[in-house]
Amino acid sequence: MGPTNTGKTHLAVERMCAYSSGMMGFPLRLLAREIYDRIVAIKGVHQVALITGEERIEPPQARWYCCTVESMPIQKDFAFVAIDEGQLGADPERGHIFTDRILHTRGREETMILGSESLRPLIRSLLPEAEITSRPRFSTLSYAGAKKLSRLPKRSAIVAFSIEQVYAVAETLRRLRGGAAVVMGALSPRTRNAQVAMFQSGEVDYLVATDAIGMGLNLDVAHVAFAGLSKFDGMRRRRLTISEMAQIAGRAGRHQRDGSFGTLAGEGSEFSPEEVLAIENHNFPNLDWLYWREAEPALDSVASLIAGLETKPHRPGLLPAPKAIDLAVLKRLAEMHEVIALVRYPVDVARLWEVASLPDFRQMGEEHHSRFVASLWQHLGQGERVLPQSFYMNELARLESIQGDVDTLSARIAGVRTWTYIAHRADWLANPTAMADRARGLEEKLSDALHDALRQRFVDKRTSMLLRKNAGDGGLFPVEIDTDGRVFVDGEDIGTLQGFTFRVDPKTKAGDRKLLLAAAERHLAGYLRQKAREVGMAEESELALCADADGKPAIYWKDELLGFLVKGRSLMQPVFEPVKAVSGLESDALREISGRVENWIEGQLAKAMGGIVGLQELAQQADVDGNVRALAVQLAEAGGIAGRHYLAEAIAALPKEARGAARKGGIVFGALDIYHHAALKPAAAKWRAALFAARDGRPMTKLPPESAVHLKEWKFAHPGEARNAGFRRIGDEYVRIDLAERVIKKAHEARGQVNVFSLDMAFATSLGLSDAGLKALMRDAGFRSADAPAERIDINSEVESSSTECASLSEENVPAGPDLVAQPVHLTHWRWIGLPKPRPPEQVRHRAKPDRARPQSKAKTGGISDRKADKPKEVAPPSALALQLAALKGLKLS
């Protein structure tokens, strides 16, 4: 025998799930459904069964059962069995069922009886072999006194003891607080769950319920207020027992969160000091008895059945159960000749008892319910002994309408519950499965209508001016959002929701601004949680990197701003900083967004910044020369592109034989710039601009069109911005770095071993370079304009060279533009003077007048070619024949 528990149903659930099979009996079908859903999440829908009077879900492979106590399939064998709220054995109407389960229902390996401490002496007396343990409440329950309904704290549950009182309290809360959810045992599970969802989600802050919530329903309640301390128990109106008070008050607080209880002021009911002390300290009077009724009476005749059900117990601690509705109905049926005429054998007696036990869901009373049962017996007691399908369908059709108020819809649902119960009796209908589906569908339809009716009646969708002025709770205003993001409070346009940011309409009066903002923030919470989930599941294409209005590198989702990139541990490890509206979301919603964006950034960097990734991988290769690895590290830190002077020391330290490994790793050694071949792609330029902006805390560089190779009307703030965009500044113009290097390379190829040479610049001019820009580029590369060389120029060679360069440009997929057109041969003449040897900035000395180095020394120390410059040769100008040949071929020589 397991422990007697203080309502810790979750312990029994954990224990049951640890066994190969199990069954739990609950006092309410709503609680049975709640635990069923919990176990389904653990074991799977095909392994768990739910059996109540009105609902039966029993998969063939089911091993764990959640049932109402009356519906427990006690004939089945289970490894584990538990009975919840065992103290209900003292209930006058249902107590005998609990008592029977406590005394006779057992699991093969373990049985648990859960109940209040008041049950301990009876369990010890009736089941001496039982092991009794107690589990203390983890949170503190304290008395808060009497409070007016208008002064109740949020997240309060008000418990009433009649439907009329529930309605009255709920309607008052509608006027004072904007609305309340309603929970009653008579509601269908679907309606009850919908009402509870309103409360749990914060759509309403108050819950009005009957004492059904005392039977273990788990709700997020901070305070329980008793609308009264007495109830009608079916025979008389009496004051609640201390155990009943504690059971209801115990719904306040959850696990380790404290709760409070009290009464409604002005209702004439107050707890006595002794009751308060007992509830706070969990000291309850012991139960002196449990109600008992013979569970297996003789079925020889109806008279012997009645006599058996009225047999008195012979054990101490048990009292005969008061006359329940099923026994009262059986006695009335026994007086009806048309009923008794169909009872001839014990099997008929047993079947009549089953029919008489049909619950009175419609609360019609003994007389009317007996007549209804008698009408069913005329079909179930003779002939095929089943209800005709047409009869069943007609009864459901009478309940089909969803029109009517709360009471009307509740009455129809009660009627459907009766027919649902009948459909779960497999031998009462010819096609019980189909009929059960039909009844369940109708109950769901009526339940949805009842939920809507309860919302309309007890949730105020309009906020009165009185509430607006006096209550000061803007969260009660109804809020709507249209397709354009406009937010309406009580039909008034108050602002716009842009992304996750709400902006109040600037025309709103100053006195109303804070009130309406609070209203929108409260009601937008659920909407924003849903948006956060959508961001968490966003496709790659739905996220984008763009500069915001201030130039900050920002991340957008469907054009909605989520946050910014800010400085992280390194250039390639930026931090995502959500905007204020996103960072203010609930923790789960914030994690959804941040996690998705961070994963997206990581993936985009891996794709777009492949050059830096390649450099980082090169720097980690142990078999590569250390100087190559050092160069890779520096180049990666620079974003994959750097001026040659910036890497002067690393290049100087690089052995010639190691340059092959560097080139193999993707590094391109240019005359003016060193870069990774993948670093000049448009995507790389965009992310590089964002990364440097995030690292340096400055606006993102405005990038030129992706097809641009030469820029005339463009301004970068400084050369570093141009380099990060993939361009080199030459005078007042910019040219793409790789194409500038090609112009310089062509110049060196044309120079060969001489210092003064002629060069066709058709390729350079095809890029759109002006004469001034060309001279600036050549000057940066160590060339100066010169007079025409004296030696003969091979026209055919120059034409071939120009054609080859243009073809090469096309092969490298340089986008064609209006400036990239075939140019006539335009020979220019240059002198190579060499580049100065780069020195680190800290070694550069400022001089009044820079020394002019001789071309010969520069050529020896700092030029692209390491060969000694030969003495310039005297070259004759082009001959007349050469000029004629050029004219025939459409070429121009200058």
**pLDDT tens per residue, range 545-567:** 999 989 999 999 988 899 999 99
Q: Give CA–CA dist 239/816, Å, rounded.
A: 93
Question: What is the number of other CB atoms lying within 10 angstroms of the CB of residue 563?
Answer: 23
Q: Give CA–CA dist 153/159, Å, rounded.
A: 15
Tell me the pLDDT band of 839, cut-offs 50, 70 and 90.
Answer: low
Q: Give CA–CA dist 104/92, Å, rounded.
A: 20
The alpha carbon of 309 is separated from its chain's Cα centroid by a whole number of angstroms, namely: 56
Q: Give CA–CA dist 431/441, Å, rounded.
A: 16
Does the structure show a pLDDT above 60 at 878? Answer: no
- pLDDT for residue 794: 47
Does the structure show a pLDDT above 60 at 705? Answer: yes
Tell me the pLDDT band of 714, cut-offs 50, 70 and 90.
Answer: confident
Give the percent of the chain with pLDDT over 90.
30
**pLDDT tens per residue, range 403-421:** 888 888 988 998 998 999 9
**pLDDT tens per residue, range 818-836:** 444 444 566 788 888 887 7
Does the structure show a pLDDT above 50 at 470? Answer: no
- Nearest C-alpha neighbor of 95 from the set 86, 106, 105: 86
Q: Which residue has the higher pLDDT, 275 or 510?
A: 275
The alpha carbon of 492 is separated from its chain's Cα centroid by a whole number of angstroms, namely: 30
Tell me the pLDDT band of 769, cut-offs 50, 70 and 90.
Answer: confident
Question: What is the number of other CB atoms lying within 10 angstroms of the CB of residue 705?
Answer: 9
**pLDDT tens per residue, range 51-98:** 988 788 999 999 999 999 999 999 999 999 999 989 899 988 889 999
Tell me the one-letter amino acid at 690: A
Does the structure show a pLDDT above 70 at 690? Answer: yes
Q: Which residue has the higher pLDDT, 207 or 494?
A: 207
At residue 834's C-alpha, the angle toward residues 829 and 838, to 5°, is 145
Question: What is the number of other CB atoms lying within 10 angstroms of the CB of residue 47?
Answer: 16
Does the structure show a pLDDT above 50 at 816? Answer: no
Largest interatomic CA distance in the chain? 142
Does the structure show a pLDDT above 70 at 121? Answer: yes
* 3-class SS of residue 759: strand
Does the structure show a pLDDT above 90 at 318? Answer: yes
β-pairing, 543-547 vs 553-557, is antiparallel
Collect all residues with Cβ–Cβ distance below 8 Å to 523 and sequence separation of at least 6.
Answer: 475, 477, 478, 479
**pLDDT tens per residue, range 357-384:** 999 888 888 899 999 999 999 999 998 9
Strand partners, 843: none
Q: Which two tokens stand for residue 503?
A: 């902006």
Q: Which residue has the higher pLDDT, 423 or 525?
A: 423
Query: What average pLDDT does this structure show over 463-491?
Result: 56
Question: What is the number of other CB atoms lying within 10 angstroms of the CB of residue 131?
Answer: 10
Tell me the one-letter amino acid at 7: G
Query: What average pLDDT does this structure show over 214-231?
Result: 82
Residue-averaged pLDDT of the chain: 81
Q: Are 735 and 710 in contact (CB under 8 A)?
A: yes
Q: Give CA–CA dist 758/830, Å, rounded.
A: 6
- pLDDT for residue 553: 94
- Nearest C-alpha neighbor of 66 from the set 41, 98, 33, 42: 33
Q: Give CA–CA dist 510/293, Å, rounded.
A: 70
Strand partners, 498: 501
**pLDDT tens per residue, range 605-619:** 888 888 888 888 888
Q: 888 burial class (0-12, 13-18, 19+ CB within 10 angstroms)?
A: exposed
Collect all residues with Cβ–Cβ distance below 8 Å to 726 and sequence separation of at least 6.
Answer: 641, 679, 680, 685, 736, 737, 738
- pLDDT for residue 380: 94
Does the structure show a pLDDT above 60 at 10? Answer: yes
Q: Are 245 and 285 in contact (CB under 8 A)?
A: no
- pLDDT for residue 837: 65
- pLDDT for residue 387: 94
Q: Give CA–CA dist 126/98, Å, rounded.
A: 13
Q: Please state whether the predicted TM-score (pTM) of the whole model is above 0.75.
A: no
* 3-class SS of residue 641: strand
